[in-house]
Amino acid sequence: MRVLVTRPAGQAGEWVDGLRAAGLDAVALPLIGIEGPAHPAAVQAAWAGLAGYAMVMFVSPNAAAHFFALRPDGLAWPEQVLAASPGPGTTAALQRLGVPDGLVVQPAPDAPQFDSEALWQAIAHRPWDGARVLIVRGTSGRDWFAARLAEQGASVELLAAYQRCAPRLDAPAASVLAAALADPGQHLWFFSSSEAVGHLAALAPDTPWARASALATHPRIADRARQQGFGRVVEARPSLAAVAACIQSFA
């Protein structure tokens, strides 16, 4: 069975390599396009005022990568500013980008899910009244985390550091998609975003998905795949070990 990794191109390769190292047949088929911010000056202005925030929350590795891509030369992460991450992938990205480990806050390692809700459980006890918080994300996203901070008296600002868009499939990717549609029983769609499910539906609008199978890394994503009509949907925690074990059990 071939595993189709639908993450954006910037993260898909790492997952493909990891799954192949685990003995699985995996290939990248990015179903979310990522572009730079529409307003780079806003990101640069955020860097200039970074020391004025109590915490900066990054919704994903893409948010971290695009925010740091516009960091002014020679400017280090302020030593008093927390960097919040919803899960291991974003945490690893922040560490690679130079944020000190002691300033990164994230969900507990044994959290049932790695998402905004789990992150909130880890930081809700902190004093947020009057604190300034910046949330770095794409052009849109859930406002749940921002709402919880605002309820505690924080001043929350949203910053679009990148743009998510529909994928532009090159010839190899189009060939992978065609093979998966022709033989759904020999392919497993690996989704880490509900948006990817929607983009797939747009790319193949008349496809009956009842014979197709999907692996999702969050209940919301699994629900979206079921709504699309996937005949079999399984869930796994968003770690390489958990995903690989789930795929091996599935196969």
What are the pLDDT digits (tens) for 176-224? Answer: 999 999 999 999 999 999 999 999 999 999 999 999 999 999 999 999 9
Beta bridge partners of 132: 155
At 87, the amino acid letter reads: G
Looking at residue 128, its pLDDT comes to 98
Q: Taking residues 223-241, what's their average pLDDT?
A: 95
Instruction: Specify the DSSP class assigned to residue 44.
Output: H
Looking at residue 251, its pLDDT comes to 67
Structural tokens at position 104: 């990164």
How many CB atoms lie under 10 A from the CB of residue 28? 21
Longest dimension (CA), the chain: 56
54-83, pLDDT tens digit by residue?
A: 999 999 999 999 999 999 998 999 999 999
Per-residue pLDDT at 163 exceeds 90: yes
Per-residue pLDDT at 11 exceeds 90: no
- pLDDT band, residue 238 (cuts 50/70/90): confident
At 134, the amino acid letter reads: L
Pairing, β 213-216 against β 187-191: parallel
Whether 217 and 236 have beta carbons less than 8 Å apart is answered as yes
Q: How far apart are CA 202 and CA 166, in angstroms?
A: 9
User: How many H-runs (helices) and E-runs (strands) does the chain carry?
Assistant: 10, 12
Task: List, in sequence order, every beta strand (DSSP E) within 113-197.
Answer: 132-137, 155-160, 163-165, 187-191
Per-residue pLDDT at 140 exceeds 90: no
**pTM across the whole model:** 0.82
Looking at residue 250, its pLDDT comes to 81
At 216, the amino acid letter reads: A
Whether 167 and 199 have beta carbons less than 8 Å apart is answered as yes
Helix axes 194-203, 219-228, angle to 10 degrees: 20
Environment class of 125 (CB within 10 Å of its CB; exposed 0-12, middle 13-18, buried 19+)? exposed
Whether 101 and 22 have beta carbons less than 8 Å apart is answered as no
Structural tokens at position 120: 């909130």
